[in-house]
Amino acid sequence: MRVVFVHGACVRDGSWWWHRTAELLQAQGVRSVAPALPSCGEAGLPPGAGGPGLSEDVAAVRQALQDNEEPTVVVAHSYGGIVTAEAAAGVRSVRHLVMISSYLPEAGQSLSEFGDSSPAPFLDVDPHAGTFGVRPELLVDTFLQDCDPDIQTQAADHLTRQSVHVTGQPVGAAAWQHVPSTYLVCAQDRGTPPHLQREFARRADSVVELDAGHHPFLSRPAEVRDLLLSL
């Protein structure tokens, strides 16, 4: 088995965000990879109104999935669930989807359909530049309140702006309708409220709850590792 991690919105360097869980998996002989998302400026082109969007993110993750025929578990976090819905569709090596505080869109749905009409208070949207990002002063209290201080400090250096049009672009497929899926509800999440997660989770085949914030793979990596090894 191998694991492909798909990170969430407004961050860069997926390998850092997943490193605590990835290291524990590696110790058990399970390899993992965290593809870069172009809409987060990770592919050489800056994010913005004319920059990379959802289709480029889907292509990057799909390429990572097709690079290897080994049985694969895809672990998607937050916005990563939008990307994974299309990227994992029809890829024979994908055996299971794990969605962490994530979205499970139907084909034709976009990220914006899961929220209300106004941006979340922890986001800064720049319509002129066509980007959005997490407000640094709200990062820890919203997303990392249960993480170690060193992780909280390092996380601030891994934020980035992202092309805002990813929020309105619909996905072309829904892999979770055809691949076994598990939803991990983060019961202490202040970014995506647990009651919303439980609504999203109704589309998954199985649901697990963890008493953790938005990034359990950083705050509770052993529990996330154990979940993945149990699949």
Instruction: Write the pLDDT tens digit of every residue in 130-140.
Output: 999 999 999 99
- Binned at pLDDT 50, 70 and 90, residue 32 comes out as very high
Q: What value does the mean pLDDT take over residues 109-117?
A: 85
Closest CA to 130 of 165, 85, 79: 165
Give the residue, 114 or 82, on which the prediction is more confident. 82
pLDDT single digits (tens) 159-215: 999 999 999 999 999 999 999 999 999 999 999 999 999 999 999 999 999 999 999
- The tokens describing 65, both together, are 């999935």
Whole-number pLDDT of residue 119: 78
Whole-number pLDDT of residue 117: 63
SS3 (DSSP) at 92: coil
Closest CA to 203 of 103, 66, 119: 103
Whole-number pLDDT of residue 77: 98
How much of the chain, in percent, has pLDDT values that exceed 90?
A: 96
Whole-number mean pLDDT of the chain?
A: 96
User: Is the pTM for the entire model greater than 0.85?
Assistant: yes
Residue 214 burial (10 A CB sphere; 0-12, 13-18, 19+) = buried
Q: Give the E-state strand segments of the chain in sequence order.
A: 2-6, 31-33, 72-77, 94-100, 123-126, 131-134, 162-163, 181-186, 206-210
Closest CA to 35 of 13, 50, 19: 13
Q: How far is CA 96 from CA 25, 81, 124, 199, in A?
A: 16, 13, 34, 20
| Rounded Cα gap, residues 209 and 193, in angstroms | 13
